[in-house]
Homo-oligomer: A and B are copies of this chain.
Amino acid sequence: MEAARAEGRVLVFAQGKPLIRDGALAYLTSRALQSLGVSGVPVLFLGLSGEQAYFALDLPVDAIAEAAAFGVFADQRLTMGGLPAAEAAIMAEALGVLNWHASHKFCARCGAPSAIAEGGWKRICPSCETEHFPRTDPVVIMLVIRGERVLLGRKGSFPPGMFSCLAGFMEPGETIEEAVARELLEEAGIAIGAVRYVASQPWPFPSSLMIGCHADALGDEIRVDEIEIEEARWFGRDEIRSALGRPLGDPAMLGVPPKSAIAHQLMRAWLEE
């Protein structure tokens, strides 16, 4: 690990926020890390690009202030959308695994402290020998279609005017299609027929895989559960087309997630069908 790090480029995070410089991920050298007094902190091996090894590291708290000399620790969700696709993928990979280490330092089977192995891609319990791998939680997110209208909902935590696709964690024992049907019945009282997979997106906050679908509603009467979402409504093509083309922010108009979000892509795909 030490030898490889000496030659590698290290993507650093401060409490989940990536170091950014000039709009791109800022990698630090081993010399820069040494100047910050960082050593012996678990490092994740991201891979090789030619001869160049790439790593990721979650900075210890006492190194964060000085590391700011090398760039800006940016909001991780906003950063995902602004980076080129390849950089966003590297960031999602690194953040997903680092988040997992931060919350899985102990063996869930026996309670003993576990140890990092295989360049950060595994943890092993020295007590009961159980191997643990990074967790990825599948989430279904779906645009519900009823003729020329689609269903969007809003959580109480959304900015005023913002609506998005409904979504929920998959449960053990169900297919993607069954999860879509269960969530829509629970959250909006909508029964559905056909489900069509559209696209997927990793969303490492902390560890989701968003599985995006279109679903055909069998009726249009909405019964919101008011726990998960505070309101759900049908929107027409013109409303969706306008909302996709303008930034969030005007509380008097429909706002939808930005282009980088899979919810946006699900709406765009419907318009273009």
Contact = CB atoms under 8 A, between A and B. Distances in A.
Interface of A: 89-97, 100, 103-113, 121, 130, 132-138, 169-178, 197, 199-202, 204, 207, 209, 211
Nearest to A114: B108
A111 B109 contact: no
Given A197-B197, A200-B177, A171 B104 contact: no
A204 to B, nearest CB: 6
25 contacts: A89-B173, A90-B173, A91-B173, A92-B174, A93-B171, A94-B173, A96-B173, A103-B130, A105-B109, A106-B107, A106-B109, A106-B110, A108-B108, A111-B111, A111-B112, A111-B113, A121-B171, A133-B169, A136-B138, A138-B209, A172-B202, A172-B207, A173-B204, A175-B199, A211-B211
A211 to B, nearest CB: 7
A93 B173 contact: yes
Given A96-B172, A136-B170, 11 more contacts: A95-B173, A104-B108, A105-B109, A106-B107, A106-B109, A106-B110, A134-B172, A172-B202, A175-B199, A176-B200, A211-B211
Give the 4 A-B residue pairs with the shortest CB-CB distance, closest first.
A93-B173, A96-B172, A106-B111, A92-B173
Contacts of A94: 173
Nearest to A93: B173
